[in-house]
Structure 1
Amino acid sequence: MDLLAELGARRALCIIRAPIIPDPVGLARTLVEAGLPIVEFALTTPDAPRLIEEAARVEGLILGAGTVMSEQDARDAINAGATFLLTPGLRPAVAEEAVRQQVPIVLGAMTPTEVATAVDLGATAVKVFPAARLGPAYFSDLHGPYPDVNLVATGGLNAENAAAYLAGGAIAVTAGSGVVGPKLAAESRLAEIAQRAKEFLAAIG
């Protein structure tokens, strides 16, 4: 799986973070059918490795694990079926494990120095967080010194503002609670999630 090619083609990925996810297979299938197949299950969700293992059965799903904080987290997620990893900030041990296992990793960063460090650690792409606080122009600014770094905009994005970050130079944007709200996931309100996913994708063109 070429994560950069998928991000460039899809331009969006979905973050799932909830106190409980009773139907990970149905949720994953709903997102794939809505046109949002790149999905990250955050490890802050209880029993996340099991959820990843179950969701991995869904055809067409490009499955990742997010909020990966340690080398053991990385191993658990990969063993469960995650095909890419994301971190909220710079996590050298996670990056080392991902590179060792040849699994794409998106490292979190905010400052120009952190972006450079993420690249040095072997990041496939760099997740800039919190994007909504930094603004779309910040992505254009980062591409001044780092024209070839693939940036993913994360944090506070929704159907109203996400397109501006793509226009600013992000390779992709994240759909979080605006699409898969914790309550919607916990209650398996899949039709509503599908509608929100379609609205998000329509908004980013």
Structure 2
Amino acid sequence: MLLETLRAHGALAVVRAPRIDDPASLCRALAAGGIPVVEFTFTTPGVEAVIAEAVAAAPDALVGAGTVTDVRTATAAIEAGARFLVTPGLSEGAAAVAREAGVPILLGALSPTEVMRAVELGAAAVKVFPASLVGPGYLKDLRGPFPDIPFVPSGGLDAGNAAEWMRAGALAVTAGSSVVSAADIAGARWTDVAERARAFTTAASA
């Protein structure tokens, strides 16, 4: 379901903030703007409670956990109800937890060797990170030897370059602080979030 939803909408929201008091309203705003897949990261203190609340109160959103780096964070995320996991790099421990639980995982990779290892570990898709370091041309090159691997670039993407990444062969692109900022969350500016999400998805599909 994760890959199908990403393919249908072309975007994944990555939310980083020191505090998230109303994750359900945030998820609803993102979904209203065309991004129903939301990743809450372990850089937010107490993110397990945020994930649990979002899963319970925003059933139309596909809620997952990001910055998963080891067995502990993978287990905590799944126990909180996360429906997918995302890592910044290769974590065999997190991959093993995801496989055992039947939860899809996007493993972070950059080099061809890391991409192959991510697939060996059971990645549902490969997160190309940091995408800003290499650019869309690099993804196009990766697609040469790996035409069947779903890639999701992350890091430095915005409405100005999202379409270029999609044309290079991305399954979906990540919407970060350009769509959801910590200030938006603190100020409960849900209309602004929905509008920027809509602008991002429109640009990505251009």
| Both structures adopt the same fold (TM-score exceeding 0.5) | yes
Mapped to 2, the partners of 1:138 and 1:130 lie a distance apart of 12
Mapped to 1, the partners of 2:30 and 2:193 lie a distance apart of 8
Name the structure 2 match of 1:32.
31
Work out whether residues 25 and 55 of structure 1, in 8 Å CA contact, stay in contact via their aligned partners in 2.
Answer: yes
Name the structure 2 match of 1:12.
11
Work out whether residues 136 and 164 of structure 1, in 8 Å CA contact, stay in contact via their aligned partners in 2.
Answer: yes
Gaps of 5+ in 1: none
Mapped to 2, the partners of 1:12 and 1:132 lie a distance apart of 17
Shift of 1:132: 2.0
Name the structure 2 match of 1:101.
101
Mapped to 2, the partners of 1:118 and 1:186 lie a distance apart of 36
Name the structure 2 match of 1:83.
83
Work out whether residues 9 and 201 of structure 2, in 8 Å CA contact, stay in contact via their aligned partners in 1.
Answer: no
Question: Quick one: which amino acid aligns to residue 204 of structure 2?
Answer: I
Work out whether residues 21 and 188 of structure 1, in 8 Å CA contact, stay in contact via their aligned partners in 2.
Answer: no
Work out whether residues 132 and 156 of structure 2, in 8 Å CA contact, stay in contact via their aligned partners in 1.
Answer: yes
Mapped to 2, the partners of 1:129 and 1:118 lie a distance apart of 13
Shift of 1:24: 1.0
Mapped to 2, the partners of 1:23 and 1:6 lie a distance apart of 23
Q: Alpha-carbon deviations, 1:87-114, whole Å to 9, x = none?
A: 0000000000000111000000011110
> Which TM-score applies when normalising by structure 1?
0.97
Mapped to 2, the partners of 1:18 and 1:31 lie a distance apart of 15
Gaps of 5+ in 2: none
Please state whether the residue corresponding to 1:194 is helix, strand or coil. helix
1:33-182 pair list within 5 angstroms = 33-56=32-55, 57-182=57-182
Question: Quick one: which amino acid aligns to residue 196 of structure 2?
Answer: R
Work out whether residues 52 and 81 of structure 1, in 8 Å CA contact, stay in contact via their aligned partners in 2.
Answer: yes
Aligned residues: 204
Work out whether residues 157 and 176 of structure 1, in 8 Å CA contact, stay in contact via their aligned partners in 2.
Answer: yes
Shift of 1:155: 0.4
> Which TM-score applies when normalising by structure 2?
0.96
Name the structure 1 match of 2:190.
190
Give % identity.
50
Runs of 4+ in 1 over 6 A off after TM superposition: none
Q: Bigger shift: 149-158 or 177-186? A: 177-186
Work out whether residues 64 and 83 of structure 1, in 8 Å CA contact, stay in contact via their aligned partners in 2.
Answer: yes
Please state whether the residue corresponding to 2:63 is helix, strand or coil. strand
Q: Bigger shift: 167-176 or 23-32? A: 23-32
Mapped to 1, the partners of 2:168 and 2:37 lie a distance apart of 21
Mapped to 1, the partners of 2:32 and 2:203 lie a distance apart of 17
Shift of 1:203: 0.6
Mapped to 2, the partners of 1:177 and 1:42 lie a distance apart of 13
Shift of 1:187: 2.1
